[in-house]
Structure 1
């Protein structure tokens, strides 16, 4: 398997987590960070078909 294609989900996930952390910080950390991570990664789940059980 070509490893170039495995980088796409890895980088997308990493950026999603970074974006969630940044937004959580900018909002003052009032909500749990898990809420921000869920919001950031929700679009990726739709693409990859990995909805939570």
Structure 2
């Protein structure tokens, strides 16, 4: 449960880093996530903005 909360919090930071022009690979490294996790989160972010 705690790990899920940590991951969710990291995923919430992704839009801010994208806005600052960070590459997906950089975001994954900074947040200690897999590149694929970051890529999968991006469509969800775009959907939430609509």
TM-score w.r.t. the length of structure 2 is 0.34
Computing the radius of gyration from Cα coordinates, the structure with the larger value is 1
Q: Which has the higher helix share?
A: 2
TM-score w.r.t. the length of structure 1 is 0.34
